[in-house]
Amino acid sequence: MTEQVAVQVTDESDLDLRRAAALIREVPDFPEPGVLFRDISPMLADGAGLRAVVSALGRDCEFDVVAGVEARGFLVGAAVAQAFGTGVIGLRKPGKLPVVADRVDYELEYGRATLELPADTLRSGQRVLIVDDVLATGGTLGAACRLVRQAGAEVAAAAVVLELTALEGRDKLMGEEVRALLQA
């Protein structure tokens, strides 16, 4: 059984974001027992909700390219890149890229993972907006920031749809500009 998640919009004056927030669900024990998954699929399926999120993620940020984190960061990141006229890069799980520029191992809320950067996608000095769906423990976004820097590019900001504040992931991203549209 799923239920609506009570989230706070970081910009309460944004009525469109408030509407999008109402579309996010909590799914207990997914992907494994003890993990509470935030499902943004209904928000992505809603045109107005998706437009509100895409607009807010890229607003007031100077960036040359978007890096979307696998998997749902691809969906939102590609939409942000298209809306703001930039390119998009997919930061992938291992074994998905034919040529890898670099990789980083990191800790997740429910295990360990690896993130890989495709070769020949970032140039030195480029400003990168990293986009993902949820900020939980900070492991994934931290790995994404390290990959971007190892390529010689700059992190313009790490932007997420939903931040799970109880997991204190923002604390692991000290020195990074973290943009969370919604918090729970």
Instruction: Give the pLDDT confidence of 162-171 residue by residue, as tens digits.
Output: 999 988 999 9
Query: So what's the pLDDT on residue 16?
Result: 93
pTM of the model: 0.90
pLDDT, mean of residues 65-88: 97
Question: Does 79 score more than 90 pLDDT?
Answer: yes
Query: So what's the pLDDT on residue 3?
Result: 45
Question: Does 160 score more than 90 pLDDT?
Answer: yes
CB-count exposure of residue 37 (10 Å: 0-12, 13-18, 19+)? middle
pLDDT, mean of residues 107-126: 90
What is the percent of the chain with per-residue pLDDT over 70, rounded to a whole number?
Answer: 96
pLDDT, mean of residues 99-118: 90
Catalytic residues, by residue number, are: 72, 109
What domains can you pick out in the chain, each with its CATH number? 3-183 (3.40.50.2020)
Q: How confident is the model at residue 2 (pLDDT cuts 50, 70, 90)?
A: very low
Nearest to 184 by CA among 159, 164, 168, 167: 164
Query: How many other C-beta atoms can be found within 10 angstroms of the C-beta atom of residue 85?
Result: 7
148 vs 163: CA distance, rounded Å = 21
Q: How confident is the model at residue 37 (pLDDT cuts 50, 70, 90)?
A: confident
Question: Does 7 score more than 90 pLDDT?
Answer: no
Say whether the peptide bond before residue 31 is cis (omega within 30 degrees of 0): yes
Query: So what's the pLDDT on residue 1?
Result: 43
Nearest to 20 by CA among 61, 58, 56: 56
